Amino acid sequence: MEKHTKIYIAGHRGMVGAAIWRILESKGYTNLIGKSSSELDLRDQVAVQEFFKKELPDVVIDAAARVGGILANNDFPYQFLMENMQIQNNLIDTALKSNVDKFIFLGSSCIYPKFAPQPLKEDYLLTDSLEPTNEWYAIAKITGVKTCQAIRKQFEKDYVSLMPTNLYGTHDNFDLKSSHVLPAMIRKFHEAKLNGNQPVTLWGSGTPMREFLFVDDMAASVIFALENKLPEHLYNVGTGEDLTIKDLAELIQRVVGHTGEIVWDSSKPDGTPRKLMDISKMHELGWKHQVELKEGIERTYAWFLENEGQYKEVKL
């Protein structure tokens, strides 16, 4: 991969896209393209086609998606299904028709069945039913994975899908209506601390187990896929380590400095009991995460404090 290769990062202002952009710049890549959603609506097929005709990118990294936690997925199933399919279909199809040889598609560990054996292997895709609370987003991402696989099979192009575990980090979304569990906890504990260490109520029982990957590590895996031709179409990306939501809450509580009570609302859903990724394929190729969970939470909370009142919110 040449440093002047023209690389289009879809979703470059999101948490993952921004991290990819930062790392590419730090490595000396000089020909990066990014468009905000106001400049280019990726749901608009004609607009995407015109953009590709004008810019002629050599590589496309798809970090664009409509994302959110259990509440957002449950309340807006149509948007999570349709808009994600529109975004990725427009990008993948236009890239193919524009003769883009390398495409990196980013998905999510939620593509795997709810009760799949642990840790989750790439081979478990489409072997059982999905978790109902996020199946709309999962189905959209599965279609993206299979589309890239089809192009790889039929046209022999280097289209690869990376499936990250739960991501968090700087530039995360801390809006309590649409954020994921880790940034939501950071905000809840922070605001409770400011209000005299009030009790913090969290969803579920605290018993489900989750794996978390710092966003800079995810970005590094994308650069790894960019600079190498990976032999297969689908790879899991994570740490290979998980913990209970209860342990996560207590770790975040310590980092934030909240000393009040944690109350678990068991009337709210837990989601999938466990989601641990089998990342042996990426390890065998030479990629491994660098940032451990405590350090990542500390860096994320520091960014939150610097940007309090200005952090990104997803409008639904």
Domain 7-174+211-241+275-293: assigned CATH number: 3.40.50.720
pLDDT of residue 16: 95
Active-site residue (options: 8, 29, 112, 137): 137
**Whether pLDDT at 283 is above 70:** yes
Q: Is 137 a catalytic residue?
A: yes
Which residues, including other chains, have CB under 8 Å from residue 17's CB and lie 6 or more apart?
A: 9, 10, 11, 34, 61, 63, 64
**Whether pLDDT at 191 is above 50:** yes
Q: Are 242 and 120 spatial neighbours (Cβ–Cβ below 8 Å)?
A: no
pLDDT of residue 315: 36
**Binding positions for substrate:** 188, 203, 210, 270
**Whether pLDDT at 251 is above 90:** yes
* pLDDT tens string 30-68: 999 999 999 999 999 999 999 999 999 999 999 999 877
**Binding positions for NADP(+):** 11-17, 106-109, 141, 164-167, 180
Phi/psi for 20 (5° steps) reads: -60, -45
What is the number of other CB atoms lying within 10 angstroms of the CB of residue 84? 24
**Predicted structure pTM score:** 0.91
Mean pLDDT of 193-217: 96
Mean residue pLDDT of the chain comes to: 93
* pLDDT tens string 68-124: 767 777 788 999 999 999 999 999 999 999 999 999 999 999 899 988 999 999 999
Q: How far is 219 from 118, CA to CA, in rounded Å? A: 25
**Binding positions:** 11-17, 106-109, 141, 164-167, 180, 188, 203, 210, 270
SS3 145: helix
**Whether pLDDT at 316 is above 60:** no
Tally of CA atoms within 13 A in the half-sphere of 288 that contains its CB: 7
